[in-house]
Amino acid sequence: MVYYNYIVQSLALILQFLFHNKRPIISSRGEYYRYSQHYSASDNDTTSLIIRRNSMSKNNLPKVAYFCMEYGLESSFKQYAGGLGILAGDYIKGAYDHDYPMVAIGLLWKQGYTDQLIDKNNKAYDTYPTYKYDFLQDTGVEIYVKIRNRDVYAKVWKVSKFGNVDLYMLDTDLDKNQDPWITGQLYGWFQEERIAQEMILGIGGVRALRALNLPVDIYHFNEGHAIFAAFELIREQMDIGKSFNDARKIVKTQTVFTTHTPIIQGNESHTIDRMMYMGANNTLTIEQLVSIGDAPFNMTVAALRTCKIANAVAQLHTTTAKKMWKHIDDACEIVDITNAIHLPTWVDSKVLNAKDDKEALWNAHMENKRALIKFVEEKNGVKLDEDVLTIGFSRRAAPYKRSNFIFTDADLMDKLFKENKLQILFSGKAHPLDDKGKEIVENLVTMSIKYPNNVVFLQNYDMEIGAALTRGSDIWLNNPRRPKEASGTSGMKAAMNGVLNLSILDGWWPEACQHGINGWQFGDGFECKDQKVLDEHDLKALYKVLLDEVMPTYYENIDKWKTMMQASINTCVDKFAVLRMLEEYYSKMYLA
């Protein structure tokens, strides 16, 4: 439903916009950002304009409940695994900053994700400490969900400590439960446990909203994990006499979906038998279940059929997602809303304040680089050289991301390291069950031992390490196999800190890259199903740009480097800030 009364109340603002070509200073709660006049893909969109201009009318916007399995709010709050959680954390911080009517639903993970360490044989191993937090607010609410024909209770905690909208986290670690460990480990264990976790998130999340008496207009499923919330909404409608088909139509008007990974294995599916055994059908028949998500039951397919609209997280990713799911009948439209970041969390204010003065910007950058060098020395006992070109690379260790790609030409890299022309800092975790990912980590650790003054691997990747690397590196390297990168927000963080991107044209980078002006691309957007051909092409391109453009600029034309740092910040700071993302979610999805 479009909120016409809201539009009518705000028409005067459109006239104001016609006579002013600059965006105002927009006040967040304690933060102020100036947005440049050239920004906004949605400046001509009336709904987006009104949302932006009339913060006093936000009470008229739809009230959103945002569901996600993980939230990256602060490094020591171990409720995140990677990019999905970091995005969710940034999103609900931005909603708080800019006063959008939103609450968030998640699970309270007793052991978080893995703490992944390196043993004496250079291999990654997983540990699971139990965490306790004294800032959780007791809502006094408990709900239950029937799982494997047993009532499983979940206590509802509230978290609002990190400058975020209220986050309600469901916790099954209760003495009364036969299955208290459902919320034990994020993405832990196997399929039955995963379904149980997703039932608590989705079915339990809706029941928590009801018990808390929180009104909701739109339910936003960030990834397919939360699709069981739609089952609960359908059950509510059927309980008051609606037919299954009518209930689906009503729920379709209330739900939206964000799809992320283009990797097929990342789009979770379960057998119908297991779904029924677990009780995930939530009173739906087998036929009704299959009509929603097929057999086997695919969570992404179910979301695309259940929701009124979906989005991918970059323009290229939208093209990829549409191709990936074009065979699904009755799927909703997939639109593009490129991810963004929460500036106060990730971007050094000293860098932003210095961006119009090249020398001041360089000084601020070097301060961050020295802080990174000190951080590395404290973590690993290695003292790096601040005068050497330093590359940062931190992300999940997955084969398609090619973390160790740059080491392919061993002779070339040996020469660069022995000449002390290059330093490379790596960090990242493999999924606990991903043996290939752990082999990649082992290779990186081995290289750090072979070249102790030039290669560093920082174990147990977290938000603290990510922030240090995206602020203090000189270059941010990204070399996924195109088009398998959904978005890649670490590059945005680097760019806004004046760290220049050197990246395949995948994820967000095709929307930002101005080659040789605000960073560099390599590979020219080449795609090939033959992995060997693709890797050979991209490797040749990487070395050419690194050796012929990046290194000569750094060592022989530092003035140009400083100019590129300015361009990196100025071309990205507005376009990839969380406010733009919020505006687009409202205008393209919540109000659609």
Decide: 502 and 568 in contact? Cβ < 8 Å: no
Predicted local confidence at residue 46, as pLDDT: 34
Strands (E), 337-460: 390-394, 423-427, 455-458
Indicate whether 17 belongs to any domain.
no
Predicted local confidence at residue 265, as pLDDT: 74
Same domain, 277 and 256: yes
Neighbours of 204 (CB within 10 A): 30
Same domain, 98 and 222: yes
Decide: 139 and 157 in contact? Cβ < 8 Å: yes
Q: What is the spatial distance between Cα 566 and Cα 355, in angstroms, rounded to a whole number?
A: 6
Same domain, 411 and 524: yes
| Angle, helix 46-53 to helix 578-585, in steps of 10 degrees | 130
- The stretches in the chain having pLDDT less than 70 are 1-57
Amino acid identity at 383: K
Sheet bearing 102-107, strands edge to edge: 137-147, 150-159, 167-171, 102-107, 64-67, 218-222, 255-258, 309-312, 333-336
Predicted TM-score (pTM) of this structure: 0.91
Same domain, 322 and 405: no
Same domain, 95 and 238: yes
Same domain, 382 and 524: yes
Decide: 187 and 201 in contact? Cβ < 8 Å: no
Decide: 261 and 84 in contact? Cβ < 8 Å: no
pLDDT tens readout for residues 6-24: 343 343 333 333 333 333 3
63-98 burial, b if ≥16 CB within 10 A, otherwise e?
A: ebbbbbbbbbbbeebbbbbbbbbbbbbbbbbbbbbb
Q: What is the spatial distance between Cα 260 and Cα 240, in angstroms, rounded to a whole number?
A: 34
Decide: 333 and 533 in contact? Cβ < 8 Å: no
Same domain, 124 and 189: yes
Same domain, 260 and 365: no
Q: What is the spatial distance between Cα 196 and Cα 180, in angstroms, rounded to a whole number?
A: 11
pLDDT tens readout for residues 44-72: 343 344 344 344 468 799 999 999 999 99
SS (H, E, C) 480-529: CCCCCCCCCHHHHHHHHCCCEEEECCCCCHHHCCCECCCEEECCCCCCCC
Predicted local confidence at residue 57, as pLDDT: 67
Predicted local confidence at residue 213, as pLDDT: 98
SS3 271: coil
Same domain, 271 and 373: no
Dihedral of CA atoms 345, 351, 353, 357 in degrees, nearest 10, equals -160
Q: What is the spatial distance between Cα 36 and Cα 26, in angstroms, rounded to a whole number?
A: 11
* CATH number of domain containing 419: 3.40.50.2000
471: containing domain? 343-576
Q: What is the spatial distance between Cα 533 and Cα 528, in angstroms, rounded to a whole number?
A: 7
Indicate whether 55 belongs to any domain.
no
Q: What is the spatial distance between Cα 306 and Cα 324, in angstroms, rounded to a whole number?
A: 18
Same domain, 440 and 565: yes
Token digits of residue 59: 């009470």
- Tally of domains in the chain: 2
Cis peptide before 296 (omega within 30 of 0): yes
Among candidate residues 494, 454, 492, the one with its CA nearest the CA of residue 472: 494
Q: What is the spatial distance between Cα 150 and Cα 146, in angstroms, rounded to a whole number?
A: 5
Predicted local confidence at residue 29, as pLDDT: 45
Residue with tokens 């020395």: 377
